[in-house]
Amino acid sequence: MHDDLRPGLRYRHSFAVPDSKTVPALYPEADEFAAMPQVFATGFLVGFLEWACILALKPYLDWPREQSVGTHIDVSHEAATPPGLTVTADVELTAVDGKRLVFRIEASDGIDVIARGTHERFVIDRERFDARLAKKRR
């Protein structure tokens, strides 16, 4: 992790919502999801917010040896977004505590603010992370 990674870092990321990121596509095995409205799924929204934070951090990490993993998210999903609209996430790094990083996050779809909250990530050494994971697989 580079020494110049500090609170105040801001990043904006946009993504056009395809049909494949709507509620019916979230768990194709679940008839309950298949019956729901075709709008941007909260599960995919969370992934989109994580993606924005990863992109914000990437220039400050020794990628791909160093990466970051999400450890906590506290986010509202305030408005439905149909496929075809572009969602934009604005993220701001608000705290750096060793390898623990906290972001303020907000997203909109060009009409409404669709999400706000915070997201915590930890910087990992990918090789050590994979080694610990391998022990769980035994």
Residues labelled catalytic: 42, 50, 77
CA atoms of 68 and 98, how far apart (whole Å) = 13
Q: What is the DSSP letter of 8?
A: T
CA atoms of 133 and 67, how far apart (whole Å) = 15
Tokens of 5: 């990674």
Element (H, E) at 133: helix 126-137
CA atoms of 54 and 67, how far apart (whole Å) = 8
Closest CA to 109 of 68, 134, 61, 77: 77
